[in-house]
Amino acid sequence: MHTVLVTGGCGFLGQQEVKHLQLYGKNIKEIRILDFVTLERKLDTQNIIKACKEQGVQYLIYCGTLGSFYGYDAVCKGTETSVSFPKKYSHGHYGETKRKALEIVINENGSSLKNCKVLRTIGILPPGMYGELDPTNTISRNRSVRNGIYYRVMGAMEAKLQYSYVGNVAMMFVRAYQSLQNNEKLGGQYYFAVDDSPPQTHIEHRKPYIGETIGISSWFVSHRFVCAVLHFIYFCLLIISPFKKINFQLSPNVINFVNTTFYVTHEKAKTMFGYKPLYDFKESVRRTIDSLPKVK
């Protein structure tokens, strides 16, 4: 019987991991949750690995992000072997730092522990997620809808993107954890945590949650123009930053993301440890809609 620690266990994905470990995990005697409320304390990757080595923790399932692969080139039906890290990240330093953290975790696979056992590591990389208790869903839909119209102020947004239901992502963590105990060859690798949600444009993805009666604007603002304006705004913010700090919500990274096609498959996880999405697309959307208040 094992004890499982979920860091960030109170977050959007973390609480789903705890739920699915309770429902589908085997040989688990205890689930512990670690989550920091304040931003002053940091639990970085190196500290996690150090703790694993000192405490004799054999299995580490790292939650990365598909954002480590987001660049400026389109990707269609990508796999872990066909998609490489971009030379320039559309998500800026976020994508780069998450890639470095992933490489650290993967490279530690096979390391010796103080109890003379061996550390096995896996990287799970989810895309943008949707589902119950996702605060960004409510925030973004309220900002985008005005007078019954969804305005396309971030470009045409016609690119096909990858989104996954949070419950299916959580289930991949459970399957990976169970399988790694019986097959050490799974370690030292990363897996795309996507489900059977079809590739959609950003508007197609948001449509079920903003309401069927909400219209979509026929016009749109060029995403290159929007990026140029944002770069100017950020330049101005840089100038005044010594005097006042302003957290501007929209960034060029978001604009580029919703206008660049990127979607992959979960064939590797299916082949290596039998991953299969627990919830189909219709059920996933229904669960998400039921958790959201109605837009008036």
Domain membership of residue 295 (yes or no) is no
Model pLDDT, residue 204? 87
Domain membership of residue 244 (yes or no) is yes
C-alpha–C-alpha distance, residues 220 and 198, integer Å: 24
CB 217 within 8 A of CB 150: yes
Domain membership of residue 217 (yes or no) is yes
Domain range for 221: 2-290
C-alpha–C-alpha distance, residues 115 and 210, integer Å: 53
For residue 115, the Cα-to-chain-centroid distance in whole angstroms is 33
Domain membership of residue 92 (yes or no) is yes
| Total of domains in the chain | 1
271-285 in b/e burial notation, b at 16+ Cβ within 10 A? ebbebebbbeeeebb
36-69 in b/e burial notation, b at 16+ Cβ within 10 A? eeeeeeeeebeebbeebbeeebbbbbbbbbbbbb
Domain membership of residue 155 (yes or no) is yes
Three-class SS of residue 93? helix
Model pLDDT, residue 145? 64
Model pLDDT, residue 251? 84
| pLDDT tens over the chain, length 296 residues | 889 999 988 899 999 999 999 999 998 999 999 876 554 555 588 989 999 999 999 999 999 999 999 999 999 999 999 999 999 888 888 889 999 999 999 999 999 999 999 999 999 999 999 999 887 766 555 556 666 677 677 888 899 999 999 999 999 999 999 999 999 999 999 999 999 999 999 888 888 887 767 777 778 888 889 889 999 999 999 999 999 888 887 888 888 888 999 999 999 999 999 999 999 999 999 999 898 765 44
Q: Quick count: other Cβ atoms within 10 Å of Cβ 260?
A: 18
For residue 277, give the CATH number of its domain: 3.40.50.720
Model pLDDT, residue 295? 45
pTM equals: 0.88
C-alpha–C-alpha distance, residues 23 and 286, integer Å: 20
Model pLDDT, residue 156? 82
Domain membership of residue 67 (yes or no) is yes
Model pLDDT, residue 139? 52
**C-alpha distances out from residue 258 to 74, 154, 161, 187, 202, Å:** 11, 8, 7, 33, 6
Domain membership of residue 173 (yes or no) is yes
Q: Using CA atoms in the order 73, 79, 84, 90, what is the torsion angle rounded to 10 degrees?
A: 40
Q: Quick count: other Cβ atoms within 10 Å of Cβ 296?
A: 6
Domain membership of residue 86 (yes or no) is yes
Task: Indicate the burial class of 116 (C-beta count within 10 angstroms; 0-12, 13-18, 19 or more).
Answer: exposed
CB 263 within 8 A of CB 77: yes
* Orientation angle between helical segments 93-107 and 45-55, nearest 10 degrees: 20
Q: Which structure tokens are listed for 3?
A: 């004890």
